[in-house]
Chains A and B, each alone.
Chain A
Amino acid sequence: MTDLYQMQRAMRNMRRAALQRGVVAILDVGTSKIACLILRFDGLEEQAEGDGVGSMAGQSNFRVIGAATTKSRGVRFGEISAMNETERAIRTAVQAAQKMANVRVDHCIACFSGGEPRSYGLAGEIALEDGVVKDSDVGRVLAACDLPDIGEGREVVHAQPVNFALDHRSGLGDPRDQIGNRLACDMHLLSVDAAVVQNLMHCIKRCDLELAGIASSAYVSGISALVEDERELGSACVDMGGGSTGLSFFWKKHMIFADSVRLGGDHVTSDIAQGLQVPFAVAERIKTKHGGVHATSMDDREMIEIGGDSGDWEKDRRQISRTELIGIIRPRVEEILEQVAERLVAAGFESLPSQQIVLTGGASQIPGLDGLASRILGQRVRMGRPLRVQGLPQAATGASFASTVGLCLFAAHPQDEWWDFSIPSERYPARSLKRALKWFKDNW
């Protein structure tokens, strides 16, 4: 635990160094594409206080100066499966973005969707010594949270305090300098498979980049796709990616739950490829060009040339109606949405005051999905697109870049996490102090 704490603190320091230099790369390692944005930070956080103008969550102080996307290789379900291939794809994206920006970047902040994220709610409570909450007390109460058994080979990516309670008053955002006797906190902890994180770190290191931060893509796409009220009142962001579908709940501006379904747009493509017996690339083209989830009588008459290059003339000249295509696509999309609905129910989504669901990600662009989703997930479904940030190319404003843009916001203005507070000194193992004393005694 302390090891991870130190590692995350080191990444925070790296992020600070990157901001000092003013250039940082954003790397979204997805199953179907790898996107790299290069951000230039003009000045450190100049908050315009007053008149209702907040800090804009740091959106205003950076600018996208380079952007590149490449087809992802060697990634399955948001996890790196062939490191050499992934490394090459990352190199392609980073090089193209550097070329566009005409600067060299040394620090990158990455996000990934795989690793089976699991959420845990933690609670901690301490007695205040002098009746006033100080900085060190916040650190202490965070340290007082009992770490649940997150399992062997799991790693913590996010550990965010979401709520503070002072005596009987709950829902405090910032308890510092307030008066009370007992300070309690709730913390949301997100764990992922350690091997996935280590693979990603290793891959980035092989591209000569320093990792300055790591985030779960479910979380960052929620940052960019949800609007302020939705995050305040309670909503779920469903990030439908290529290999996995991320799920994150936001309430009171904090992520309170995240999960992922290991199904995505690529499964739809593979269904088409299997059903029509065409190569994967052809299936992908047919899906994006003609795909849909609601068949109408018009679609019976719309014939789609499958095409192909198999050499068999009969096979390459086949035609199918759009209804048939929808018949292949729809069950898989329904399956994905049903899985999502299952997870929503399991996580207790009904208990949130507002039950807004926002669909985003590349697979959410399939026409007619909002109608299908509202039938499965509930009435309050909308399609989400990422926030507009300065300098973002038009090609990167679609729903498939929700997590990339969210990662920009995360880089500019990360939420306080557990490792941003200094660990209280009594938590340091006493043994090391004893050993130091022993060393002194032995040598003098």
Chain B
Amino acid sequence: MQSLGRALPLRRDPAPSRWAYRMQRLWLTPMFRAGMRIGLPVFVVVLVGGIYLSDAARRAGAAEMFGALRGSVAESPIFMVELLSITGASPELADAVRARLDVKLPQSSLDLDLDAIREQAERLDAVQSAVVRLGAGNVLELQITERTPAWVWRSEAGLMMLDATGHRIAGLAERADRADLPLVAGQGADKAIPEAQAILAASPWAKRIRGLVRLSERRWDIVLDRDQRILLPAHDPVAAVQALASLDHAEDILSRDLIAVDMRNPDRPVLRLTPYALDVLRTQATAPEPQQ
């Protein structure tokens, strides 16, 4: 007779099958575990990626897709630069910089190379330094510090403005355009501008000086009006200028009828008189001194 009560639950064999037992032991092997958890996924990813990229067309397609994706992001309005604003420069210089930079706008800010723009701007003679940044509202801001002209240099090529360090700034059509600046001349004068500055500062004849002449890229001459020249030594010209200044102050030399004062030997200044003064000196020397 069948049992009418609760049916006995079918007892499953609790023993693992031989394969389940082996699999569990395999899983408990540390090397196998590490291999399955790290090695296998890495292997699969590398394999699938390798198979996918082994075809050149797919590689090109992927590169193209990536480029398109990047383009679509880069060309979104957020990244587009519309304007270039240049501050701190005269209008002419600003135009020159604009022409020089040749930045095609609008352009994505992701494609802009700010360092290259700065270097290109600084390559202009008139620009002392430049700061480039992307400002608010997608404006490319270029802040330029101009070189201030300090000297006019007359050379074989023509007139040229120099700054205080001797760097060229721009050409000049006429000397009268910048009559306020002192003049230097001679080959290699731009390389010795700081020395010229010191000489000019030391000399008390500012109103009489017409300019400084660099000779043989070695020493300076000061050219005064009335065609007077002061020949300075190559070594320590400022001291020579100061010596001459004190001499002039005491003896009033430079207002005399001289062509040149030769200070090249600092121990022994040599004066060169005009021919007329020389004649007068000679006659006075030969004529007997008038009795008083």
Partner of B16, one of A92, A309, A311, A312: A92
**Counting CB contacts under 8 A, is A163 at the interface?**
no
Instruction: Indicate if the CB atoms of B15 and A98 lie closer than 8 Å.
Output: no
Kindly list chain A residues whose C-beta atoms are within 8 Å of the C-beta of B44.
none
Partner of B28, one of A88, A98, A309, A310: A98
Kindly list chain B residues whose C-beta atoms are within 8 Å of the C-beta of A352.
none
The size of the chain A interface, using a CB distance under 8 A, is 18
Partner of A208, one of B3, B20, B25: B25
Partner of A92, one of B15, B22, B28: B15
Kindly list chain A residues whose C-beta atoms are within 8 Å of the C-beta of B14.
70, 92
- 8 A Cβ contacts from A68-115 to B: 70, 88-89, 91-92, 94-95, 98-99, 102-104
Instruction: Indicate if the CB atoms of B2 and A95 lie closer than 8 Å.
Output: no
**Counting CB contacts under 8 A, is A4 at the interface?**
no
**Counting CB contacts under 8 A, is A227 at the interface?**
no
Instruction: Indicate if the CB atoms of A311 and B1 lie closer than 8 Å.
Output: yes
Partner of B4, one of A70, A95, A207, A311: A311
Q: Is the contact region of chain B dominated by helix, strand, or loop, or is it mixed? A: loop
Q: Write the chain A residue with the least CB distance to B28.
A: A104
Kindly list chain B residues whose C-beta atoms are within 8 Å of the C-beta of A94.
21
Q: Write the chain B residue with the least CB distance to A102.
A: B28
Chain B: minimal CB distance from A4 (Å): 30
Contact with B along A35-57 (1 / 0, CB 8 A): 00000000000000000000000
Kindly list chain A residues whose C-beta atoms are within 8 Å of the C-beta of B2.
311
Instruction: Indicate if the CB atoms of B25 and A98 lie closer than 8 Å.
Output: yes
Chain B: minimal CB distance from A398 (Å): 22
Chain A: minimal CB distance from B24 (Å): 6
Identify the interface centre among B3, B14, B20, B22: most chain A CB within 10 Å of its CB.
B14
- 8 A Cβ contacts from B15-36 to A: 15-16, 18, 20-22, 24-25, 28-29
Instruction: Indicate if the CB atoms of B13 and A103 lie closer than 8 Å.
Output: no
Chain B: minimal CB distance from A312 (Å): 8
Kindly list chain B residues whose C-beta atoms are within 8 Å of the C-beta of A311.
1-5
Kindly list chain A residues whose C-beta atoms are within 8 Å of the C-beta of B4.
311
Kindly list chain A residues whose C-beta atoms are within 8 Å of the C-beta of B28.
98, 102-104
Known contacts: A309-B3, A309-B5, A311-B4. The answer to whether A99 contacts B16 by CB under 8 A is no
Chain A: minimal CB distance from B125 (Å): 78
Instruction: Indicate if the CB atoms of B22 and A208 lie closer than 8 Å.
Output: yes
Q: Write the chain B residue with the least CB distance to A98.
A: B28
Instruction: Indicate if the CB atoms of A95 and B24 lie closer than 8 Å.
Output: yes
Q: Write the chain A residue with the least CB distance to B1.
A: A311
Instruction: Indicate if the CB atoms of A104 and B15 lie closer than 8 Å.
Output: no
Kindly list chain A residues whose C-beta atoms are within 8 Å of the C-beta of B22.
208
**Cα(A286)–Cα(B28), bound, Å:** 40
Kindly list chain B residues whose C-beta atoms are within 8 Å of the C-beta of A208.
21-22, 25
Q: Which residues of A does B touch, CB under 8 Å?
A: 70, 88-89, 91-92, 94-95, 98-99, 102-104, 207-208, 309-312
The 10 A-B residue pairs whose C-beta atoms are closest, nearest first, are: A88-B15, A104-B28, A92-B15, A311-B3, A91-B21, A311-B1, A95-B16, A104-B25, A104-B29, A91-B15
Q: Report 22 cross-chain contacts, Cβ distance below 8 Å, ordered by A residue.
A: A70-B14, A88-B15, A89-B15, A91-B15, A94-B21, A95-B16, A95-B20, A95-B21, A98-B24, A98-B28, A103-B28, A104-B25, A104-B29, A207-B21, A208-B21, A208-B22, A309-B3, A309-B5, A310-B3, A311-B1, A311-B5, A312-B1
